[in-house]
A = this chain, B = another copy of it.
Amino acid sequence: MAALGYVPDASARALVTRTGTRLAIAVIGRTAAVLDDPYVGRVLTSAAHVAAEREVGVSLHWLPLHDPGSLARLADGRGLGGLVVVNPTRPALETVPRALRGRVAAVGVGTRHVPSFDVDNRAGTDGVVRHLVRTGRRRIAMVTGPSWLPCGDRAVEAYRQVLEATGAEPRVVPGDFTAARGAGAAVEIMTRWPDTDAVFALSDLTALGVLDGLHALGVRVPDDVAVAGFDDIAFAGLSRPALTTSTHPVEEIATAAARAVLDRRDAAETTFYPSALVVRESA
């Protein structure tokens, strides 16, 4: 039959199975940091590409962080073939209705019922901070992500552990993934701890902002202070100095999440993807 070029009609199937023909991508958070994040575009692009093979489409939903009902409302809608939640919080995931079990995946932390496809932030951070230590840095500061993002916890923990091993005090400053905050964080760090010799930001955009902030302070990178980012966004290699960072297979992660949902494969509770150090000029 397939030899005759038969292709099932997605709409008809969706109608009768009451299952919908679209894959919703829900991004938690509506701050500028999230809206402008190229990361979301990469996830969406990969998902839309996977969806194309299955005759379904993807839709994008930005959900407010502090409205627990919004995810449930989205998931209740008809026409939903599946759901991929980006950067979820665990409480938010608890609100997805049972009916969607097996058709939900998370890019970020997951729960017992929602399989997670995520970057191994712990190992990634460990790799970056160890690189800083290996190249002679000892007074290393870290700019974190938004406090509500659970994925940042593992990274901060890894940073603390490496520093503890070297006997150094942690110097943690809160960030929000924006470049503007990076510039501010740089000033804050150099004011509080003037002898800082390295800054690790949990976001490339923030790291680029740190580069800017340090430049404005007259601090040379990497001579005086090394700077490292996280994610390896497209521009990381184009900044001056080119940004040392850790690269993540975002496309691969998003593709796997989309496939897991569309193919109703029950994935492992958590699948970690490697974070790989990319040494450029800034550290």
Scoring A residues 16 to 54 as 1 if CB is less than 8 Å from chain B, else 0, what string do you get? Answer: 000011111100000000001010111011001101100
Q: Is the CB of B24 within 8 A of A14?
A: no
List of B residues within 8 angstroms of A10 by Cβ = 21, 78-79
Identical subunits present: 2
- With A41-B45, A44-B44, A239-B238 known as contacts, the answer to whether A21 contacts B14 (CB < 8 A) is yes
Chain B residues positioned under 8 Å from A22 (CB to CB): 21-22, 51, 55-57
* C-alpha gap A36/B14 in the complex (Å): 33
Q: Is the CB of A58 within 8 A of B57?
A: yes
B-contact 0/1 string along A44-76, CB 8 Å cutoff: 110011011001111111100000000000000
- Smallest Cβ distance from A131 to chain B, in angstroms? 23
Instruction: Give 17 pairs: A residue, B residue, CB < 8 Å, sorted on A.
Output: A10-B21, A14-B21, A21-B79, A25-B48, A38-B234, A41-B44, A45-B60, A49-B59, A49-B62, A51-B57, A52-B60, A55-B79, A57-B57, A58-B59, A208-B238, A239-B239, A240-B240
